[in-house]
Amino acid sequence: MGVPTITATRILKGQLAGKPGEETVLEMDKFPYVALSKTYNTNAQVPDSAGTATAYLCGVKANEGTVGVNAASVRNQCNTTKGNEVDSILKWAKDSGKSVGVVTTTRVNHATPSASYAHSVNRDWYSDNEMPKEAVEQGCKDIAWQLMHNIPDIEVIMGGGRKYMFPKNTPDIEYPNDERANATRLDGLNLTKIWLEKKPANKKAHYVWNRDQLTSLKPQDVDYVLGLFEPSDMLYELERNKTMDPSLPEMVKVAINILKKNPKGFFLLVEGGRIDHGHHEGKAKQALHEAIQMDIAIGLAGEMTSTDDTLTVVTADHSHVFTFGGYTHRGNSIFGLAPTLSDIDQKPFTAILYGNGPGYKLVNSSRENVSTVDFTHNSYLAQSAVPLRQETHGGEDVAIFAKGPMAHLLHGVHEQNYIPHVMGYASCVGQNQNHCRSSSSSHSYKASVTLMTSILTVLSVVLF
């Protein structure tokens, strides 16, 4: 969710409302404090989502591909895990007595959410099925296992990822005839059962796997909820089965209603993760509609909380090589054509383009004439300059938007790992709490934090 994505989403939001689009205001545009985040990993100029998630959740820069461990850990080397684990602001908040939650449109053990609770030298160790035998023998645990054991009392967990929770080849409850949806665990564990069994007898815990089950929950009767709505990542909003899968805003609404019952406050991580996936696939329309859902969720979170006691941070883990230009006129469809032709091949081009990715295509040894195809299709692959199976991340700084207590600490240009320290300082969790005990302080240090990110990237901290 780099700046070009934010701008294009703003235009799309307006155009969906029948306006030209450029003058539209996103919910994040209303935040009074804006900063830039430097996203590089300790070993990468252009980062991946695991190292960046570790930075903005755990407060330390990390190597690409690793989650919840510092830079002394080496990707894929299990024996470099122990002693290099780092805890996240979710753990800091939980240790201080706050309620905590994770909401994502990816699988719940994907890079961004996993950095909040797991310690893994490989972000792709979703279950033990994806781990090398050596790592298992050395005692490393897969990320789904860690979700159920590392911080077993996370109050709210919502997203996709059912297949990683059940014994291998167990048919999926929603897609029993689709072998691709079958479960993957080699250890024979049913992690949803383990999750339920770990809850105190006097607490009400619910495992749900569809929208009706989720929306029928009464927050006053819920202490814990685990919602797994797809075998892997959740479907794009433009493809979502609206009777079976909840939207991101719907998940956020339920999460906040459950978490806000705690008088000590809460931390909520909200990730619009499929913004990233849409870009990787070269499907700009999918990515931008995912970002629209994030915008709706930000607005809803704002309505359900107060800037008097809730710090909300909206940011991204990284950008993409996504751009739009071409001297388009006011009100031109964000998915439309530029008003001029190429100087070389005299063919039209869309305003939206990618620096690399699957949209590179030659017809008769020359660039495809986009006017001969449906470039407004939901899954149209925007043209790219370099052919790649998947489009890559971008390396430039990304925006940070903040409102609420101590939001002014997010200004200027920051290292990405600065972000959780601001959130911890504002909500009096983590190591630096000397200011919280000051009798002369006029600030209320019971603030909730919401972090919203696009795999982007919370409601005590909201990250998109």
Neighbouring CB atoms inside 10 A of 295's CB total 26
Name the residue type at position 115.
A
Its sign, for the CA torsion 52, 165, 155, 97, is negative
Q: How many CA atoms lie within 13 A of 451 on its CB side?
A: 31
Q: How many CA atoms lie within 13 A of 446 on its CB side?
A: 7
Q: Residues near 263 by Cβ (< 8 Å), separated by ≥ 6?
A: none
- CB contact burial 79-106 (16+ within 10 A = b; e otherwise): ebbeebebbbbbbbbbebebbbbbbbbb
Which residues are 387's β-sheet partners?
A: 357
CA 271 to chain CA centroid, Å, is: 3
| Residues 384, 360 contacting (CB under 8 angstroms) | yes
Please give the C-alpha separations between residue 83 and each of 39, 78, 80, 87, 269, in angstroms, as whole numbers.
25, 12, 8, 12, 26
State the Cα torsion 245-250-251-253 to the nearest 10°.
-160
| Residues 190, 167 contacting (CB under 8 angstroms) | yes
Task: Please state, in angstroms and rounded to a whole number, the distance separating the CA atoms of residues 340 and 450.
Answer: 44
Q: Give the residue among 39, 33, 34 at the shortest CA–CA distance from 54.
A: 39
Task: Please state, in angstroms and rounded to a whole number, the distance separating the CA atoms of residues 36 and 245.
Answer: 34
Task: Please state, in angstroms and rounded to a whole number, the distance separating the CA atoms of residues 1 and 399.
Answer: 9
What is the gyration radius of the CA atoms in the chain, in angstroms? 22
Catalytic residues: 49
User: What are residue 432's phi and psi, to 5 degrees?
Assistant: -90, 95
Q: Which residue has the tokens 């404090």?
A: 33
Tokens of 38: 């430097």
E strands present in 31-132: 33-38, 99-107
3-state SS, residue 276: helix
Tokens of 433: 């709490």
